[in-house]
Amino acid sequence: MNLDIQKVSKTFYAGKTSIPALNQVSLSLNSGEILGFVGANGAGKSTLMRIIMGVLDPDAGNIMIDDQPANIEARKKIGYMPSERGLYPKMKVREQLIWLGELKGVSKTEAASEVDELMGLLEIDEYKNSQLETLSTGNAQRVQLVAALVAKPQMLILDEPFSGLDPLAVRTMTSVLKRSADQGVGIMFSSHQLELIDQMSDRVAIIKLGQMQIVGTPDELRKAAHAPLTVTVPTPLADIFGELIKEEK
Amino acid sequence: MSPIALIIKREVLVKIRSKAYVIGTLAMALVGAGLCWVFKLVGSNLSGLDMGMADSASQAANEVLAKYGLTEAEFTQMVAQRTAEIQAESGGMDFVFNGPGYAIGLVTCVILMITIIQTGTSIAMGVVEEKSSRVVEILLASLRPRQLMAGKVLGIGLMGLVQVIVIVAATGISAYATGMTDFLFNSGVDLTSAIIWAVVWFIVGYFSFACLFAAVGSMVAKPEEVHNAAGPLVIIIMLGYFSAIYLTVGAPSLGGGFSMLAEIIKYVPLVNVLAMSSGLAAGTVSNVDGFIALGISLVFIPLLIWLGGKIYSYSILQTGSKVKLLKVFR
């Protein structure tokens, strides 16, 4: 599955004030590729991801999936993890995940099998019959990732999937995501942790104030910035692009 | 299974597992059934008393007539003459209070009112739960807002109907066991017509209000704000309740300014739900009026669904303070 974002624009309104969230943003994501999406708070990352998933409609531009305009059926093949985490607090975890899988068009049996495997991989199988509200933030976030993966998606759109996680949880989740990418799943994820972006991403896209600044592989970005290369350690992206992604006041 | 069917399935399971729903339904069924036995008990205690009181009343009446030198026939003629004079003064209208009809109409009205408010509030609370927990963002990646709203409305409506059936069945069985059904069937009220009209107006009323309650839930940020936000809808329902009392008694036949108001309310969608269901059950509103009011309401339901859907679609993803209605239509 290939995703093509074509000159997408979006403006929000607060009373008479207009707030341009996205301005002619173009980006693509290919099968098996991991795309790191970076920007300050309010840069437009979540807005773009919501538009990709059809949660918001763009004011202009197109979202193309496999060269066709995106629709509900195509989006069912995309796993989504929004930045504002949330599932039904009082519903049992396993039952809820299976139901979400069915909502994506997967049979109950398939969804159950996938949920059991994923909960095992993410080390949360002891919480199968717990209500979601009883889980810690880290475990709830793993559940959220299972929700995104349960329907065996062909693409993943993950908004800050690692925020608030301890290093062990981060390692577990990154291994699951890399496994998915190796199986041909295109992954777009946003994060403020540039080290993770650097380690995981095949390409990096940087957005500032609703406009795409630069897209390329980590090495291409280093070359573009004429960053000096060390003998053994690559220059951290944070040192090169720290100013670019600093939150504007 | 279609997305709407999956939403309905979830709503049904949530209700079935809800202690509040199960206990509430059983409690209301017990109250309905228990009331039949209470009426039977009170009625049998009073019947002995009635006989004695009737004898005493007859004796007292004869003493009064003798005091004024009137025979029973002369007194009856005087009453008939004065009744005719009063009827002529009031425009020749008859007013006969139908007790059984009033009881049936009132019971129908109360059951419908409680069910519509309860199920409507359930919908609003479910919507705001999805909004405040942010699960709605994941759901809207798999289905359209109107599909989500439709699933909730149908699922919760189904469980509301189940609740009504359980209460009516329990009350009906108890009424049969206590002999109250004989009384009702012999009272002159068309029970079959009353039940059919009650079911029809429950469906019309539920679908008229359900999408508006969903819209109300989508406009607020927290469950605590639902009751305040739903206030205007509850006021409309209560307006319908007071109209129902008026129409069930048959008061419009008395004439005066209120009769015109009652005539108008019969045809006003939303307000007329309780008024028509109880008036038709009581037999104080004609079937012709019933069909006209039903036709008008059926034309309005798609508009109400559209309105509720538009507000819901806009508001469900808005966070922060309560969404202002004007913003939805800008």
The DSSP code for A92 is B
- Mean pLDDT over the full length of chain B: 81
Residue B229 makes CB contacts below 8 A (sequence gap 6+) with: B124, B216, B217, B219, B220, B322
The residue in chain A having the minimum alpha-carbon distance to the alpha carbon of residue B5 is A103
Strands A60-65 and A3-14: antiparallel
Nearest to B284 by CA among B259, B260, B253: B253
Q: What is the pLDDT of residue A172?
A: 85
pLDDT digits (tens, 9 = 90+) for B22-58: 998 999 889 888 887 877 777 665 555 554 555 566 6
- What is the token pair recorded at A89? 């607090």
ipTM surpasses 0.90: no
- pLDDT of A84 above 90: no
Closest partner residue to A55 (CB to CB) among B10, B135, B141 is B141
Please check the confidence at residue B285 and state whether its pLDDT lies above 60: yes
Q: How far apart are CA A70 and CA A64, in angstroms?
A: 5
Residue partners of B139: CB distance under 8 A and separation at least 6: A103, B130, B148
Burial of A236 (0-12, 13-18, 19+ CB in 10 A): middle
Residues 62-101 of B with CB under 8 A from A: none
The pLDDT, as a whole number, for residue A50 is 92
| Number of inter-chain CB pairs under 8 A, A vs B | 54
CA distances from B293 to B55, B117, B268, B281 (A): 48, 21, 8, 14
> Is A82 close to B135, i.e. CB distance below 8 A?
no
Structure tokens given for A124: 């949360």
Residue B118 to residue B261: CA distance in whole angstroms: 28
Burial A50-86 (b: 16+ CB within 10 A, else e): bbbbbbbebeebebebeeeebeeebbbbbbbbbbebb
A203-208 and A60-65: which strand pairing?
Answer: unpaired
Higher pLDDT among residues A246 and A198, named by residue: A198
Which two tokens mark A92?
Answer: 């049992």
Contacts of A84 in chain B (CB under 8 A): 134, 137
Task: Tell me which residue of A223, A166, A159, A225 sits closest to A191, measured CA to CA.
Answer: A159
Determine the pLDDT at residue B66.
Answer: 80
| A194: CB partners within 8 A, 6+ apart | A38, A236, A237, A238, A241, A245
Average pLDDT of the residues in A105-117: 94
Between CA B42 and CA B214 the distance in angstroms is 44
Amino acid making up residue B163: Q
User: Higher-confidence residue: A224 or B150?
Assistant: B150
Return the residue in B137, B324, B327 with the most chain A beta carbons within 10 A, the one to mutate for interface testing.
B137
pLDDT band (50, 70, 90) for residue A231: very low
Q: How far apart are CA A104 and CA A150, in angstroms?
A: 9
Two structure tokens written together for B80: 């008939």
**Angle CA(B222)–CA(B224)–CA(B230) in degrees, nearest 5?**
95
Res B88: pLDDT: 60
Tell me which of A143-157, A200-214, B102-116 is least confident: B102-116
Q: State yes or no: pLDDT of B282 exceeds 80.
A: no
Q: Which residues pair with A155 in a beta bridge?
A: A78, A186
Alpha carbons A145 and A154: distance in angstroms, whole number: 14
Tell me the H-state helices in B256-330: 257-265, 272-282, 287-315, 325-328
d(CA B94, CA B73): 24
- pLDDT digit string, tens, across residues B133-188: 889 889 988 888 889 999 999 999 899 889 888 988 888 888 888 877 776 666 66
Contact B186/B46 with Cβ under 8 angstroms? no
Alpha carbon distance A236, A229 (integer Å): 10
Q: State whether residue B264 sits within 8 Å of chain A by CB.
A: no
Is the pLDDT reported for residue A156 higher than 70? yes
Both tokens of B94, joined, read 């008859």
User: Which pLDDT score, from 0 to 100, does residue B275 have?
Assistant: 86
Average pLDDT over residues B98-120: 81
Structure tokens at B36: 């039949």
